[in-house]
């Protein structure tokens, strides 16, 4: 036996109709106000990024990344970071980790170690 309450009902024109037991849906098209707070470039240059959601002016992420790599390889222990959370002391690796860039620093470190080993091997060959 078929339950007729769930079946669309038809009128005399054989046009299906939907049962009117659910309230009509209302679509709210009123304007929504969105507040976007722009912050200066995260590299510290003071310029404002072009897009409101961007953290860096174009190219400045690479600038900061190269500064962090150089500081890490030079053995800098502390970088003083001032942001909206205040002033903090971090190592270059800690700051890179916060930015998900720690891999770049570790790759640069391995590359430097390979270059030093190759240079020492060439030096040993020349002296032998």
Q: How far is CA 105 from CA 63, 74, 101, in A?
A: 14, 12, 7
CA distance 42 to 82: 10
pLDDT tier for residue 120 given thresholds of 50, 70 and 90: very high
Q: In the chain, where are the structural domains located?
A: 37-127
Strand partners, 89: 80
Reported as a single tens digit per residue, the pLDDT across 5-37 is 555 555 555 665 655 555 566 777 788 887 767
**What are the tens digits of pLDDT across the range 51-99?**
888 888 999 999 889 999 999 999 888 888 777 778 888 889 998 998 8
Q: What is the pLDDT of residue 80?
A: 82
* Distances from the Cα of 42 to the Cα of 14, 55, 66, angstroms: 66, 6, 14
- Read off the pTM: 0.60
Mean of pLDDT values over 115-123: 93
């Amino acid at each position: 036996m078929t339950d007729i309450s769930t079946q669309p009902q038809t009128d005399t024109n054989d046009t299906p109709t939907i049962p009117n037991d659910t309230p009509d849906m209302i679509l709210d098209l009123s304007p929504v106000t969105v507040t976007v707070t722009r912050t200066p470039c995260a590299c510290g240059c003071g310029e404002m990024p072009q897009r409101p959601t961007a953290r860096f002016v174009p190219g400045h992420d690479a600038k900061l990344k190269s500064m962090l790599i150089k500081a890490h390889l030079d053995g800098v222990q502390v970088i003083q970071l001032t942001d909206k959370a205040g002033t903090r002391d971090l190592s270059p690796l800690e700051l890179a980790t916060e930015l998900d860039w720690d891999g770049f620093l570790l790759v640069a470190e391995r590359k430097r170690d390979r270059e030093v080993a190759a240079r020492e091997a060439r030096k040993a060959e020349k002296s032998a």
